[in-house]
Amino acid sequence: MQPIAVITGAAQGLGRIIAEQLLAEGCRVAITDRDREGAERLARALDPEGGRALALALDVTRKEDFVAALDAVEARLGAPTALVNNAAMTPTTPVMEITPEEFDAVVAINLRGTFFGCQVFGDYFAGRGHGRIVNIASLAGQNGGTASGAHYAASKGAILTLTKVFAGQLAAANVTVNAVAPGPLDLPSVRAAVPADKLAGIVERVIPVKRLGNPAFVAKTVARLLGDEADFVTGATWDINGGIYMR
């Protein structure tokens, strides 16, 4: 059975790299994003002949968007077998300056979006007796963050709890739910969010291995957790953080 994976927030950044990895491993992929044009550009770039990459508009704050995406994928690619909840908002606003509106926006995208994805696709997978869900969490959800905002860190910590909740709920239906918690990655978004001098200081003083993480390795970890052989792994958080947080 050829895996069919749905990725949220996949038009750029880590989501794009995950899409590239899954396509390279033979999956069919639904590239979903609030930026439909960006998703379409990426689908054309990664799958110029068509048939393996599908671009869809999806606002993760809307449960009905997940339902519509599921229906579209099933109709155009086939029955989905995997979901990667990747979409996130990553502001670095100092804690005492976070407005109620910004706090709510971050939680709506990062946490509520993950919840809706697990709910809609988890129910679908359970009905079919098979499925894989990977939630992209963060080191920030474990240690409070090194440069991220408090609202971002709090939302990512809550994703770790949601992962356990859905893993327990869906395990008997042969649906696994896991999280990957990366530390600072070598991504344009990280370099844009953190000033170069501050980032250099983080690499030198905070990260024991003294380098930013490789997003391609994160993507390969996600791919492994989506595979059939990962049927004995559920409710787990996979740490990829250069030794910043050890347990």
Q: How many CB atoms sit inside 10 A of residue 156's CB?
A: 27
Rounded to the nearest 10 degrees, the angle between the axes of helix 13-24 and helix 36-46 is: 30
SS3 content of the chain, % helix, strand, coil (to 5): 50, 15, 35
Runs of H (alpha helix) within 138-195: 140-143, 150-170, 188-193
Residue 131's H or E segment, with its range, is strand 131-136
- Annotated active-site residue in 152, 163, 182, 242: 152
Alpha-carbon gap, residue 156 to 139, rounded angstroms: 8
Q: Is 152 a catalytic residue?
A: yes
- Distance, in Å, from the CA atom of 84 to the CA atom of 175, rounded to the nearest integer, reads 13
Q: What residues are annotated to the active site? A: 152
